[in-house]
Amino acid sequence: MNDASATGVRQQVSAAEWQLRCELAAAHRLVAHFVFVDLTYNHISVRLPDAPAHFLVKPANVFMEQVTASNLVKYDLDGRQVLASQYEAAPSAYNIHGAILRERPDLNAVVHTHSPANIAVSAQKHGLLMLSQQAMRFHAQIAYYQYDGDDASKEGAARLARAMGDRWLMLLNNHGALVCGKTIQDAYIHNHFLELACRAQIGALAGGSELITPSRALCEERARLFGQLGQYDATSRDWLAGLALVEQHYPDYKL
């Protein structure tokens, strides 16, 4: 994407939307930096605050490493593209993200990844175990969904969104993870900790030794302190540190 194309998109959207585009592009770069993702098949979305029936999502034919503010695509909650672009999203992106944002007006951002770690945990019958302080953040807060191979259609995505209930994290059995938030920063940071929890679990189980399990009271306390929806925003230290990393290594995210 060249500077001229970026200027064209920027002139068509509000200042608030352009800022959100930059933040969403940065979140994609950070996930790509820290997490082994599944080629072009993972997505992050964010609802537009001045148009809550519209959201931004990654185009179908780029990696997370290639997402910029201007190549993000805008859709409505019914899966219709609402801003002309040379790009378009995959049906699995606009259907799943649109369904969740429609079903849950209290959520504004969704991170959907298939990492080796979260796929592995999603394939374990016991789900996420409370084996690390990162996992304890999510004590009693994760929904589970039986993968049926039909989450890309509108009907399949709607079933998935309903299955989340009042939770804001979901492990999709044999598939991956969904982490939602009040803001893009909220969803991104919680997703990062879920990824660490999944990696720790796979490592601990592979070790073959007897495991130490924390008390339920400790898990509840960690979840209360560190695992709340809406806990992170653009002023959060982890986000500011991440944004500085993106500025240093991937400055083209703002194009």
> Which run of H or E residues covers position 48?
strand 43-48
User: b/e string for 28-56 if b means 16 or more Cβ within 10 A?
Assistant: bbbbbeebebbebbbbbbbbbeeeeebbb
Q: How confident is the model at residue 241 (pLDDT cuts 50, 70, 90)?
A: very high
pLDDT tens sequence across 182-200:
999 999 999 999 999 999 9
Q: What is the mean pLDDT of residues 42-67?
A: 97
Is residue 140's pLDDT more than 70?
A: yes
d(CA 91, CA 93): 5
* pLDDT at 126 > cutoff 60: yes
- CB-CB contact of 190 with 179 (8 Å): yes
Residue 149, pLDDT score: 82
Query: What per-residue string of b and e applies to 208-219 under the rule 16 or more CB within 10 Å gives b?
Result: eeeeeebeeeeb
**pLDDT of amino acid 2:** 44
What confidence tier does 206 reach under pLDDT thresholds 50, 70, 90?
A: very high
Q: What gap in Å lies between CA 102 and CA 208, rounded to an integer?
A: 43
Cα–Cα nearest to 172, from 181, 187, 160: 160
194 sits in which H/E element? helix 184-207
pLDDT above 80 for 105: yes
- CATH of span 23-70+77-254: 3.40.225.10
